Structure 1
Amino acid sequence: MGVMGVSLISPALPTVREALAITDGQAALLVTAFTVPGIVLAPLVGVLADRYGRRAVLVPCLVGYGVSGAAVALTTDFTVILGLRVLQGVAGSALVTLAVTLIGDLYDAGQRNHLMGVNGAAISVGTASYPLVGGALASVSWRAPFLLYVVGVPVGLVAYRSLDDSDGRAHGLDYFRNVLAAVPTRRTAALYGTYVAAFVVLYGTLITAVPFLLHEAYGLGSFGTGLVLTSASAMTAVTASQNGRLSALASNDRLVAFGFVGYGVGLVGAFFAGSPVGFAVAILAFGAGQGVVQPSIDTATSSLVGAEFRGGVMSFRTTAIRTGQTLGPPLATAADAVVGYQAFLLAVGVVALVGGGVALAVVE
């Protein structure tokens, strides 16, 4: 559910821009409005989940996510639309946090790489299918993709029946101090910083720049754009599903570094592609990189503390992710105004290649 918040509407951004007579930068705000709340509220989600239990937080957020997302289709007032996306982002921040928190709760360290890979694959299947679905729906009407968010309501009811209502483990006003005292500071800061970097790259390039570039440079509509995004996300799903095996060959830190190299190869290749097909083939490497990065860093982060403080630690993870997701789109549209989307892809690709290569040289 969490990945629907952006991946469903990403291929529809050009269509929404034209229907509402707004600019690229304003259309990108549909992404930013969704991601900003998580920067501030994700830690609160972790506190509430650790204090009152996972179900008490997850179920209302699923229902609110579905209602606020679908309500966008009922208005053409851009200010109201942004407000609804903010509300949806508030609810969505809990979905991202609690998915990996529950995995950390239910499985021991030996199983987490495998289960984080399965979770990453499931996310990627959604990320792969939602752009295709969103693009197809946007070909009918810009409103149609937003109506699909209403599925959050029945999913919330299923979660209510499936999860237990046990109380949380953590109590007291010193919760945040105890969380910070429980984690290795330098290691944690490095992991959160990597989340920010990874999602600046993902949301600045694949989620924002690529749809506009495919529309402007290659003349692709929403459905064609969805196909290209789907190809990358499908590769992410395949790669993420193998994370358990990959973790037996290399540490999580080295896997993350390899993933950044994949980002770079994909983006540099996309810059030199001369056709939509070539672009789609090149971007497969980017998808593979994402499939390595996310489950590896999720496993490393969820293993920092025990169950008592895991909700808090993973909520700060969501803050880091939302920070990257928020910074990426305006960075892309600002770069387009100066050098264009293609040059932006090349620049980010080179930085990712160099950064990943340096990391491989220094981490064990």
Structure 2
Amino acid sequence: MTPADEQDDPQRALRAIDGWRGWLLIAVMLSGPSLMALTFSTIAPVLPMISAHFRDQAGSTMLAQWIMTTPAIGLMLGAPIGGWSIDRIGPRAMTIAALAGFAGGGSAGLWADHPATLLASRFVMGFSGAYLATAATWLIGARYDEIGRRRLIAAQDSLAGITAMSAVLLAGIMAQTAGWRAPFMIYLLAVPLLLAAVASIPSIYTSRQATGSTPAELLSHLRPLWPIYLIIVAIAGLMMMPATQVPFLLQANGIEEPIIRSRVIACSALASILAAASFPVVRERAGEAGTFRLILAAYLAGTATLSLATSAEGAALGCFLMGLGTGLFSPSFASLLIARTSPALRGRAIGFMFGAVFLSEFLSPLVILPLRAALGVNGGFGALALLLALALFASFVKRPFATPSIGAAHG
């Protein structure tokens, strides 16, 4: 195959990568959700410590929340831009740039001391993480058939759960011994992955003339998918609730130790590992609609349990139940959109999916903080449980995901 042929036939070019380069390519493809998991889980145990560090700033608790969630702005913007970029610069340059930005932006917490600098670095990290996740998922969609995609996407999210659980436990230990800055070292994990991307990803492009090359054409092609994106925006913010809200629930109940907080939050990651690993079987047996209902049921059980939790054990159970929903969420929606879009549109469809996820995560504090203020931390989770019960009931009244495929969905 000539270099021109490799650029014009992504599947052939990617399948031709074997041996040690093939293993490095697989590592890069699996890395997107894992690094995104680090985005939030790494500093979750130290949120109250960050708030205390900036206590001289007005609204230090809100500042800590925004330090946690600002990457979601970058994630929200980076994902759709990343989907567009794949068609223009290809996944090689995009992945290399994303890993460099993630390592630099993520580790800035080791030295940045001004809130604006820290927030800006978190934005860069989030933007880069979205770029990487979009490119990694596109590579899986381009290299494998439908069954292979489900397995690799499930493996992506299982590994993300393992990474999140390991990071949150390690972060608690590091913070306990070396202060709130120490966990930011974990983001340097992107450096060896950067070297792997340089060595393994070929120079390929999705197409010379991408379908939907103008914004109006793209919106026209993807319009049938908007109900799916709206569902993602409505519920994806629940994935980060254990990391962003449970530390404050524990604090409200007198549980101050970072290690205990990290162990409680890690229960969500443990559950997501198990659920993501089971996704291919669950999806085959329950179907699209059944899998979606299981996701809602898990989040309902988790938020209801957290609304009643007054101990670390009760909070751990609530986090575990929510983690079951999180483990099924990402592979379910990624597989759904990959299967329903043509190769020429797939990169941007995936980008919009991640953009919808991160928009939901960015908006989540705007929803939960007023609920917390009005009802207390436990009461806020109770209100979410009620909304989820209504959503689950509605999913039985009207079957979700009746959207047709967009173009030739295979290939």
TM-score after normalising by structure 1: 0.93
**1:229-288 Cα distance to aligned partner (Å, 9 max, x none):** 111111111011011111121222321121111101111112223321122123322111
1:83 aligns with 2:120: yes
The answer to whether the 8 A contact 2:44-2:247 is kept is yes
Cα distance, 1:38–1:274 mapped onto 2, change above 3 Å: closer
**Corresponding residue number in structure 2 for 1:276:** 312
Of 280, 286, 300, the match for 1:264: 300
**Corresponding residue number in structure 2 for 1:6:** 40
Question: Structure 2: where are the runs of 5+ without partners?
Answer: 1-34, 401-411
How many angstroms does 1:290 deviate by?
1.5
**1:330-349 Cα distance to aligned partner (Å, 9 max, x none):** 33233322222111111112
Of the two, which has the highest radius of gyration? 2
**Corresponding residue number in structure 2 for 1:141:** 179
The answer to whether the 8 A contact 1:117-1:295 is kept is yes
Residue identity matched to 1:159: A
Residue identity matched to 2:102: Y
Other structure's SS at 2:205 match? coil
1:101 aligns with 2:135: no
Of 243, 246, 250, the match for 2:279: 243
Cα distance, 1:215–1:81 mapped onto 2, change above 3 Å: same
How many angstroms does 1:125 deviate by?
1.3
Q: How does 1:285-296 map to 2 (within 5 A)?
A: 285-296=321-332
Q: How does 1:117-266 map to 2 (within 5 A)?
A: 117-139=154-176, 140-171=178-209, 174-183=213-222, 185-186=223-224, 188-203=225-240, 205-266=241-302
The answer to whether the 8 A contact 1:62-1:156 is kept is yes
**1:49-96 Cα distance to aligned partner (Å, 9 max, x none):** 122211110111101110121122112211211111112222122122
The answer to whether the 8 A contact 1:261-1:357 is kept is no
How many angstroms does 1:147 deviate by?
2.2
Residue identity matched to 2:276: A
Residue identity matched to 2:184: F
**Corresponding residue number in structure 1 for 2:407:** none
The answer to whether the 8 A contact 2:47-2:64 is kept is yes
How many angstroms does 1:177 deviate by?
4.1
Divergent runs of 4+, >4 A:
none
The answer to whether the 8 A contact 1:14-1:222 is kept is no
Question: Structure 1: where are the runs of 5+ without partners?
Answer: none
- Structure 1 CA distance for aligned equivalents of residues 206 and 226 of structure 2: 26
Residue identity matched to 1:163: I
Comparing 223-232 with 287-296, which one deviates more in the overlay?
Answer: 287-296
The answer to whether the 8 A contact 1:69-1:150 is kept is yes
**1:179-235 Cα distance to aligned partner (Å, 9 max, x none):** 43444x33x1121112212222223x3221111111221413221111111111111
Cα distance, 1:167–1:99 mapped onto 2, change above 3 Å: closer
1:73 aligns with 2:110: yes
Other structure's SS at 1:194 match? helix
TM-score after normalising by structure 2: 0.83
Greater relative CO (CA pairs within 8 A, separation 6+): 1
Comparing 144-153 with 165-174, which one deviates more in the overlay?
Answer: 165-174
How many aligned residue pairs are there? 361
**1:91-121 Cα distance to aligned partner (Å, 9 max, x none):** 1221222222222112212333332222221
How many angstroms does 1:329 deviate by?
2.4
